[in-house]
Amino acid sequence: MRCNHVGSGASDVRAESYIRKLRAMALAAQQDHSARKQPLCRLRTTVPLTTQITELVNSLPPSQRGQAWSIIDLQGRLQGRYKDRPSLGNIGIALRALGWVRVRDWTNSGAGRRLWRAQ
């Protein structure tokens, strides 16, 4: 037995109206999002982190060059590419590329801090 369902014209009109409203809202959201996008060319610095770290260490007096550094201390002295400060992950990658190694300070005053030391 075949069932012929006859829909009411009013519900079709409501559905079409609802779809038009959704499309208009999606278009407005897309235009708002593209208006808020910042240009990609907002570089803060073009100097690579490896160069910045090398220059920082070379600028220190010889007595301080061999000291171990926390990554937070290094971050405060470096410039980020797009933000004021570089990310900790990028600093770690640069330090490894320069041959630095991570060490732990297990003394009572160090409390297990992670430090980086040049090889």
Q: What is the per-residue pLDDT across 19-57, written as a single tens digit (0 to 9) for each? A: 999 999 999 888 877 666 655 567 777 889 999 999 999
Q: What is the pLDDT of residues 99-115, one digit of tens each?
A: 999 999 898 888 888 99
What does the pLDDT read at residue 39?
A: 58
Average pLDDT over residues 56-62: 91
Show the domains of the chain with their CATH numbers.
49-117 (1.10.10)
What does the pLDDT read at residue 71?
A: 93
The C-alpha angle 35, 40, 43, rounded to 5 degrees, equals 135
Alpha carbons within 13 A on the beta-carbon side of 77: 16
Using 50, 70 and 90 to split pLDDT, how confident is the model at 2?
low
Residues 6+ apart with CB under 8 A from 65: 57, 118
Higher pLDDT, 5 or 35: 35
Do residues 118 and 50 make contact, with C-beta atoms less than 8 angstroms apart?
no
Alpha carbons within 13 A on the beta-carbon side of 102: 10
Task: Give the Å distances, CA to CA, from 85 to 11, 33, 73.
Answer: 57, 26, 11
Average pLDDT over residues 73-88: 90
Query: Minimum mean pLDDT among 5-9, 63-67, 75-79, 87-91: which range?
Result: 5-9
- Give kind and range of the element (H or E) at residue 90: helix 88-97
